[in-house]
Structure formats: structure tokens, C-alpha cells
Amino acid sequence: MSLNSPLPQDQWRIEVSVRWVDGWRSRMLSVDEVKAYNQDPDGYVAKVIGVSVADYTDWIEHDGMPLCGSKTKAGKLCRNPTGCIQMPIEQWLEQHRAHYCKAHGG
């Protein structure tokens, strides 16, 4: 007699860790979701949270901190912060490059 039953594959769940602004987040994926994740991990996470891959990677790279929307004298985007770190992505999207730092009149 068995106390447990085998699971059909459609009930399998695999835990994956994805990059987040405060480190890593765990997410349970089905077998089909793991296949999609493995084809493009960043693209999969971006799609799940509803943003572009570029926005997702910028959010992670800047630790969820919005940056100034102005350009430097050299013509590059200013890298000064305009808000706090580890903002939720929705808040970060509203503020990233939307305001100016103190050096550029903010």
C-alpha cells in the first residue's frame, strides 16, 4: 500500500529563483512554464511582471532606483538618482527618467 500517489506531469511544479531588486524571488512554475523560462529567462520574467526586457534589466541594474531624465554635457544620460532604491517596478517606471536631479534643476 502506498501513502502517496504519483503526480501527473501537468501537476508538477518547479521552483525557480529570479532576480529582483532586493535580491531573488522564488516562483513556482509548471513544466511548460519552465520550458518557456529556459528559452528566455529575462524575457519570461519581464512578460510575467508586464514590462519590457529593457525595463526589467534597467530596474535590476539600477537596484530599483530612478535616475535623472537629463543629459550630461557629453550628451549621455545623467546617472544621478531622483528617488529611493528598491522601488516596486510600477513606481520605478513612473519615476525613472521622468524627473531631474539637483544638478539639473530638480
- Fill in the amino acid letter for 37: Y
Q: Look up cell 510600477; give the residue.
A: 90
Residue 95, classed as helix, strand or coil, is helix
Question: What's the pTM value of the predicted model, to 2 decimals?
Answer: 0.86
Cα–Cα dist 68/96, whole Å: 7
101 three-class SS: coil
Residue 67, Cβ density class (10 Å: 0-12 exposed, 13-18 middle, ≥19 buried): buried
What's the pLDDT tens digit per position in 33-89? 999 999 999 999 999 999 999 999 999 999 999 999 999 999 999 999 999 999 999
pLDDT tier, 7 (very low <50, low <70, confident <90, very high otherwise): confident
Phi, psi of 9 (to 5 degrees): -55, -30
SS3 label, residue 18? strand
Domain positions in the chain: 11-61, 63-106
| pLDDT tens digits, 8-47 | 888 899 999 999 999 999 999 999 999 999 999 999 999 9
